[in-house]
């Protein structure tokens, strides 16, 4: 049996603990599969291909959770509220976004503590982007 050096688990980022890039790519791919079919959210993505939006969200989440800093290297500071100003994000959009994200999070089969930590952040982030009254 391989010995784990004392303290090494505590030094792992959330990104590493949940499986790294592959996990975040699976999460966001599943999320955008739902968005692609959503009559409320799909029109918020004017480009025909959701691939660029999928890549941006993947890179952002990987960086946020302790992975590579590729998002900031390519796009600068995240400034999420500013980047979402052109879109009407009301309670209905918020709820639809979280519905697809809930499905995506559930599909990962994360340990309960990791699932809760990820979900709590996603709920917080979605709420912070509401910019339009109902």
Q: Domain locations in the chain?
A: 18-128
Cβ atoms of residues 18 and 61 within 8 Å: no
pLDDT digits (tens, 9 = 90+) for 42-71: 998 887 899 999 999 999 999 999 999 999
Main-chain dihedrals φ then ψ at residue 111, nearest 5 degrees: -60, 145
pLDDT digits (tens, 9 = 90+) for 39-48: 999 998 887 8
pLDDT confidence tier of residue 134, bands split at 50, 70 and 90: confident
Q: What is the pLDDT of residue 85?
A: 65
Token pair for 39 = 């009559």
The CATH class of the 18-128 domain is: mainly alpha
pLDDT of 8 strictly over 60: no
Region 66-93: mean pLDDT is 84
Please write down the long-range contacts of 113-120, taking CB distance under 8 Å and 24 or more positions apart. Answer: 114/14, 114/17, 114/18, 117/14, 118/14, 118/18, 118/65
Between residues 83 and 52, which one has the greater pLDDT? Answer: 52
pTM of this structure: 0.86
| Short-list 116, 78, 125, 119, CA closest to 101 | 119
Percent of the chain scored above 70 by pLDDT? Answer: 90
Q: What is the pLDDT of residue 6?
A: 52
Main-chain dihedrals φ then ψ at residue 130, nearest 5 degrees: -65, 125
């Amino acid at each position: 049996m391989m010995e784990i050096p004392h303290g090494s688990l505590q030094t792992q980022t959330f990104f590493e603990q949940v499986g790294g890039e592959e996990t975040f790519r699976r999460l966001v791919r599943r999320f955008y599969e739902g968005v692609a079919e959503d009559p409320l959210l799909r029109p918020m993505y004017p480009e025909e291909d959701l691939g660029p939006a999928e890549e941006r969200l993947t890179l952002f989440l990987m960086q946020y959770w302790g992975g590579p800093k590729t998002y900031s290297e390519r796009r600068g500071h995240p400034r999420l509220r500013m980047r979402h100003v052109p879109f009407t994000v009301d309670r209905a959009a918020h709820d639809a976004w979280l519905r697809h994200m809930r499905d995506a999070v559930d599909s990962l089969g994360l340990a309960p503590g990791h699932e809760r930590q990820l979900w709590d952040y996603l709920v917080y982030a979605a709420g912070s982007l509401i910019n339009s009254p109902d």
